[in-house]
Structure 1
């Protein structure tokens, strides 16, 4: 049987894996469905408002994620109050809370490998924990990091079988979720690792059943420009697949070219540290291409939208109130519109977490 080589770029690292890839069934259909929906930024800017709020956390909300399960939309969140919480968006209520972490919960992710009712969370207690929110139980613990675990991310290929994690122990670790095995430890960073992401770039031929993995790891590139801690990195999608978006305590958001290692844009305007960045699916009217809007949340209590093509173009700003205090995490979610017709349609909404605990949806 043939072995297949795929490239996984994790933060500043590249890893070559010879492994048989499974792939998403009906992937072409998923791509077509996604591409057929255009979310216009001008509509969002002119009519958006606060539409929902979830309370329960009593301290900083560091991370949020969302998924659908049994035809319902759920949000999970991790907080400085050491809890992981799950909210049912359609019914506007919290349905679950997990409190077995012994320190801050830094990151939460719905598993893209299991059914959607499984959540992974990372914590300052040095662990990554698996939760089944449908049955209210902890499933498993990864506890091989030697210091607090910050960012975690599932692979965007192979059905999300692989999980990477970054830690204050200065390592990035790659895990096989199916076998619960630690596959590789990436060393090289001189300080703690606050965030990780996995590149969607990979090759696929979907043949054979070979499960042998040959590990070769090397540092791929180093991007220099920020003058303070880099708190988050995101890989781009679609026409921005060769870019990385980063945010920092130096108050800036930066866009990088993966291939050249060069900085493309710097977005300045925030008054204090930038805590979160996201590529958005928004399209600007009369522009060429697909999504060209990025979004950032800051310690200055604002969420700002930028035209990715120009560092001079701040498009819109959402100002938080005193109950929010500072913006820590962002996630774009598609919510069903009111059922006024037989056709189900969606609006793009922005979900965000803040210092004082509330999770809000703006759209």
Structure 2
């Protein structure tokens, strides 16, 4: 959407994702991270993806919205199906062939969210985001039912897959650079800088697309009105004019310039939450996991074009401290 429709919807939703609102979740997120790392102590090898990076963001966003813990597992499958649509894989549907996998996930997820919304209308709660969105009002304006359901679906998917990759890509970068892992272990206060450098060095979102509402020129290329522009964010991050020595992973950079959360009116609404989850997960991993080593390097990757992330990140370790 463009303004004024986008401005209106974002204003109604944004209060739940301010830095102050997200900061109130720090203790509960830290507890979840601790529980997942406790699980690593029970075995000699640990898959960072399935054991930490994957379950943490979905648990956080589901609990924010008020999804029952027993239903969290459903969102793993739905989210995986819908991200195939974002990538352009298997997204063609002519109405005559087999229903694409992403469409099944979309229908099931929307049905489930409709039921959640209906339940909150009958029994609103004080501590979940759906109830807050139902009560959100700005100058007499409120979200329609369809806007509410679509927004919740967006938050569930966007608040999950990208942060999974942020955490996994971060652990991978630290394991490949043991000096920086040791520095983070010695000083957890450096975790925010580590997160920003990961967003630049190995961003979860590799590219994005924008539509030109009027003709424009980009370098030597002419873009007609209505044309699509593919913006290669990961390439921009390796521009030496923006970040000197760009191929080096260095959380100690004086200034990190990246577009990991986008730019302008569509800047990622969940940036404070993603940063918090990344900071807590990486600092706890560095502090608690002793002598972690990659089992396979490079690890296997999922088949995605714009979402970059591993399908498994096995490590061996010498134990997990309390």
The answer, yes or no, to whether TM exceeds 0.5 is no
Structure richer in strand, relative to its length:
1
Task: Compute the TM-score of the two structures, normalised by the length of structure 2.
Answer: 0.27
Task: Compute the TM-score of the two structures, normalised by the length of structure 1.
Answer: 0.24
